[in-house]
Structure 1
Amino acid sequence: MKVYGHAVSTASQRVFACLYEKGLDFELVPVNLVTGEHKKESFLSLNPFGQVPAFEDGDLKLFESRAITQYIALNYAGKGNKLVFDDPKKAATMTVWKEVEALHFDTATTTLGWELIFKSLFGLATDPKVVEENEAKLVKVLDVYEARLGQSKYMGGDAFSLVDLHHLPNIQTMMGTDLKKHFESRPKVSAWCADILCRPSWVKVLEMKKNQA
């Protein structure tokens, strides 16, 4: 298996974490985001949208991090941690919360990460209005999460799954900003974050990020 990406990429981090959860060997093919390697023709043949990661497993080529993690979890079901549910009803519930992460949590936190952290790296100014709007969206999502986590230990059910794994990169980003207060002020959300952020798979991803930065 090959992952074309970079350890600072939150989307790449999802795939790395999934592979580590499953205990699978893979080759990281670094993509230089600073020089725009992901926009060159050689990479566009792997992902026509010019975004990392891209993934190969034999003759299978995939892009979009959540599609890649879904494939890994299903195709290597017998390896490592389960990450998905066999029961159709449990699987359906997990799918609901996977959609919530992608459509609500990710959209707000990705925008906030860009405004509060990454813009400054490119010499750009933070837009306070955009921060305010997306902070309000995040607060609403976390209120829903607090209620959900009163019903089950993890977002997708009673076991750690792809839903929780998909949250890891952006939770880590938010913990590096003042917005961590919104996570810490909600007891169940705070406990859930503490639980998943210390998983061995995620610790390995952070070590990758440190080494590749």
Structure 2
Amino acid sequence: MALKLYGAPMSTGTTRVMIALHEKDLDFELVPVDLFAGEQKEPPFLSKNPFGLIPALEDGDLTLFESRAITAYVAEKHNETGTDLIRHRDLKESALVKVWKEVESQQYDPAISPIVYQHVVAPIRGQSPDQAIIDANVEKLGKVLDIYEARLSESKYLSGDFYSLADLHHLPFTYYFMKTPYASLINERPHVKAWWEDISSRPAFKKVAEGMTFGDL
């Protein structure tokens, strides 16, 4: 039975999972959820994720939500297929993947996501971007990226000289961010810029990026 992924191709959570599935060379069915019609808040989808947020993954009788948990499941279950995203054969490397996965979710995402929301999503919802929120988070993101610059001066990828979930998880929000006026935060840091150009050129991501159209981006 093919994996079923419920979500939307412009959603950062959905695309995070799609990239992982492509890295693993797995067949899956994308079942569209119409966010603008509020389908994610209706009973059929709430039975898959009671919080009413996409994506959700069905693998036989198992249903999962939370995109980072889904990518970890996919990487662990199919560890011998496609790209090794968790470095399951090396305890130290695997531990570093976990560390930088946490950095993405706890440090990077909270800084970059409000910028993307204010610049991209708010106008679609008829709201005016809050420049104070953007400015505060540009400052936060800059500090995070200073740490990334130092880290990436020592290794090609965040967890070492290998691509992993720690890098993959950054792709969706950074893709949208790089289309905003604040892309210089990435481009002015040479090691971060080289890392971004590397991970965003991977075939698995390029397949997914084709459907990542959001607003005017």
TM over 0.5: yes
2: distance between equivalents of 1:93 and 1:206?
27
Match of 1:190 in 2: 193
Match of 2:23 in 1: 21
- CA RMSD in angstroms comes to 1.1
- Quote the offset at 1:91 in angstroms: 1.1
Give TM-score scaled by structure 2 length: 0.95
1:120 aligns with 2:123: yes
1:163 aligns with 2:142: no
- Quote the offset at 1:13 in angstroms: 0.4
Match of 1:101 in 2: 104
- Quote the offset at 1:209 in angstroms: 3.2
Moved more, 11-20 or 148-157: 148-157
- What SS does structure 1 have at the residue aligned with 2:145? helix
More helix by share: 1
Listed one character per residue, the Cα deviations across residues 150-181 of structure 1 (whole Å, up to 9, x for unaligned) are 11110121110001100000110110101110
Matches within 5 A, 1:171-182: 171-182=174-185
Give TM-score scaled by structure 1 length: 0.97
1:131 aligns with 2:120: no
Match of 2:43 in 1: 41
Match of 1:147 in 2: 150
Name stretches of at least 5 consecutive residues in structure 2 with no aligned partner. none
Identity of aligned residues (%): 47
- Quote the offset at 1:208 in angstroms: 3.1
2: distance between equivalents of 1:174 and 1:53?
21
Listed one character per residue, the Cα deviations across residues 50-98 of structure 1 (whole Å, up to 9, x for unaligned) are 0000001111110000000000001001111111112111111111111
> How many matched pairs?
211
Match of 1:31 in 2: 33
Instruction: Output the amino acid matched with 2:205.
Output: W
Post-superposition, which runs of at least 4 consecutive aligned residues in structure 1 deviate over 6 A? Answer: none
- Quote the offset at 1:126 in angstroms: 1.0
Match of 2:84 in 1: 82
2: distance between equivalents of 1:23 and 1:208?
18
2: distance between equivalents of 1:80 and 1:94?
17
Instruction: Output the amino acid matched with 1:154.
Output: Y
1: distance between equivalents of 2:200 and 2:7?
21
2: distance between equivalents of 1:26 and 1:179?
34
2: distance between equivalents of 1:131 and 1:208?
26
- What SS does structure 2 have at the residue aligned with 1:146? helix
